[in-house]
Homo-oligomer: A and B are copies of this chain.
Amino acid sequence: MPAKGRVTVGIIGSQFEADIHAASFQIMPDEAEVVAVASPTPGNAKKLADKYGIARVFTDYKQMLAEKDIEMVTIAAPNYLHAQMTIDIANAGKHVVCEKPLCMTLEEADLMIETCKRKGVLLMYAEELFFTPKYVKAKEMTDQGAFGKVYLVKQVEKHFGPHAPWFWDVEKSGGGVFMDMGCHGIAFCYWFLGRPKIKTVYCQMATHVHGNKTKGEDNSICILEFANGAVGLIENSWVRRGGMEDRIEVYGEGGVTYADLHMGNALPTYSEYGYGYAVEKAPTTKGWTYPVFEELWNYGFPQEMYHFARCVRGREEPQATGEDGRVVQEVLYAGYKSASTGGKVQLPFRVDGIRRPIELWLKE
């Protein structure tokens, strides 16, 4: 494998998230190049490849892993496949970028981390909020002392339901909105505060609206207590109308800041006729809308992939790792357990033998 030049990348997946990966590498093309894409449904990988000018197309990702020149593989597949794919990629001697959440179980998380370590490849955890420019600014101000000691960090992520049908199937997703988007907020608060130990997890969740489609929760509220005394408050929903909502609040003894990726960045717009694209999940482009600009950049996806490519070249240290994903996974366990018992759960928390976090909440 080449030790310099652009990192060669393969993508597993062909839908929403895979498209984001491909687009991100295209937006910041100087450190990496996507050379292959693998997706099992015939035609899907081809379609993505055509859109982004990707040369090689596979229906079996294992064949893609046999390509010698590929150095890094990104996983944009359903959650329940993450662990096996990671292990296969690592065994092929390639670096791994795994989408969130890391996997289904803590056993999987441990095995993923251990395997990548043993094979000498990087396990990078695709938490783009660590790279979201507006949130990075909030963290910079915090680290510069703007707010003194921070005692409360909030992260909110809501929309009206997931992109792909497999999210509704808890067998494949492992859980509902807390699993799907709560993982962002957990990782965010943990990172924002400087990775202090998490002491307790409380979670309130319910399936308010989408019970006909899923056993998973469609709304969740999660409270984290950290060892340094700070608190994290995370709100997620699959029942928020009007498009995507993603925002944070930071409260310190010396100040406060608010960052809103959508309504706080948008061009308030009224259109009789509609236009190309407003924002992720927007129901229409007619009437009043909140279109955003440079959406992927403002989420931080290109910067994230750029960073991962530089990690592969040894130019940067991974800032979002399998260990981060494992911390999130433990909180997901604790959160579902808490929602079940109605009490906060102390960490470390581990239950062995379950297949997916939501089992701890579902009464079956």
Contacts and interface: CB of A to CB of B under 8 A. Distances in A.
Max chain B C-beta neighbours (<10 A), residue from A30, A223, A257, A290: A257
A255 B276 contact: no
A223 to B, nearest CB: 5
Nearest to A245: B256
Interface string A211-241: 0000000010101010001010101010111
Given A255-B242, A288-B290, A206 B221 contact: no
A269 interface: yes
A140 B272 CA distance: 16
A190 to B, nearest CB: 17
Contacts of A307: none
Contacts of A102: none
A147 interface: yes
Contact of A254 (B147, B219, B241): B241
B231 A276 contact: no
A148 interface: yes
B229 A206 contact: yes
Max chain B C-beta neighbours (<10 A), residue from A221, A265, A272, A294: A272
A138 interface: yes
Q: How many copies of this chain does one complex carry?
A: 4
Contacts of A268: 257-258, 263
Contact of A242 (B231, B233, B256): B256
Interface string A278-303: 00000111111111111001000000
Interface residues of A, number: 76
Contact of A284 (B140, B263, B287): B287
A191 interface: no
A66 interface: no
Contacts of A251: 219, 237, 239-240
Interface stretch (A71-79, A175-183, A315-323, A340-348): A340-348
Interface of A: 29-30, 133-134, 136-138, 140-141, 144-149, 151-152, 200, 202, 204, 206, 208-209, 219, 221, 223, 225, 229, 231, 233, 235, 237, 239-242, 251-259, 263-276, 283-294, 297, 341-344
7 contacts: A133-B293, A133-B294, A149-B208, A208-B253, A254-B273, A257-B270, A258-B269
